[in-house]
Amino acid sequence: MKPDKDRKRYILILISIVTISWSIIMGSITTKAMANPIGTKSVDMVAERHRVGKEIYLENCSTCHIAIPPAVLPTETWKTILENPLNHYGTRLEGIIRFNQVLMWQYLSTYSRPISVNETEPKFIAQSRYFFALHPGVEVPSPVSHTSCVECHSRVSDFDFRTLTEEWQ
């Protein structure tokens, strides 16, 4: 009886050690993966399950131009962009792996709206009615482009489209 009891206790201790080490290891891995300075500074709340998708979006899509907020373009446009990385506005987006593509799609599709039936899919922000719907009564300089957002949105580099430059406050 006694050795059997000892054996059980030994196994229990072993299981706890394995469980604790596992959570420590996994904990440090996920903390590292999420330690993206742009993402953590960003003000827009996203559901927990889209946090990683947003981080990956910021990592992949803010190196050549600003990270464009999902709401200014319809869901279909985001789909086209994600599905055609090698044909990206005259350039090629290399190294976007399938797994990240899926996570970015989940984030972008959740925070954008689909276009109506028979509506043409805009390729540029300047053609998107959602961009104009977010700017009621705002005289945006023409042509609208990702390069001019910062004229009114002072914290674009932090993916913050709520903070406006002084003249708009």
Query: What are the residues binding ligand HEC (CB under 6 A)?
Result: 60-61, 63-65, 68-69, 71-73, 81, 88-89, 91, 93, 124-125, 134-136, 138, 140-141, 144-146, 148-149, 151-153, 161-162, 164, 168
CB contact set of 106 (below 8 Å; sequence gap of 6+): 49, 50, 53
Widest Cα–Cα separation across the chain: 85
| Smallest separation, CB 63 to ligand HEC (Å) | 5
In angstroms, rounded to a whole number, what is the distance separating the alpha carbons of residues 36 and 34? 6
Q: Within the chain, how many helices (H) and strands (E) appear?
A: 6, 0
Choose between 1 and 99: whose C-beta lies nearer to ligand HEC: 99
Of 38 and 152, the one with the shorter C-beta distance to ligand HEC is 152
Closest to ligand HEC by CB, 1 or 45? 45
The pair of three-digit structure tokens given for residue 63, joined into one six-digit string? 């190196």
Output the CA torsion 17→19→20→26 (10° steps): 140
Measured in whole angstroms, the distance separating CA 91 from the mean position of its chain's CA atoms is 21
Q: Between 9 and 65, whose beta carbon lies closer to ligand HEC?
A: 65
Rounded to a whole number of angstroms, the minimum distance from the CB of residue 30 to ligand HEC is: 23
Closest CB 148 distance from ligand HEC, rounded Å: 5
CB of 81 to ligand HEC, least distance (A): 5
Distance of alpha carbon 119 from alpha carbon 116, whole angstroms: 5
Distance of closest approach, residue 48 Cβ to ligand HEC, in angstroms = 19
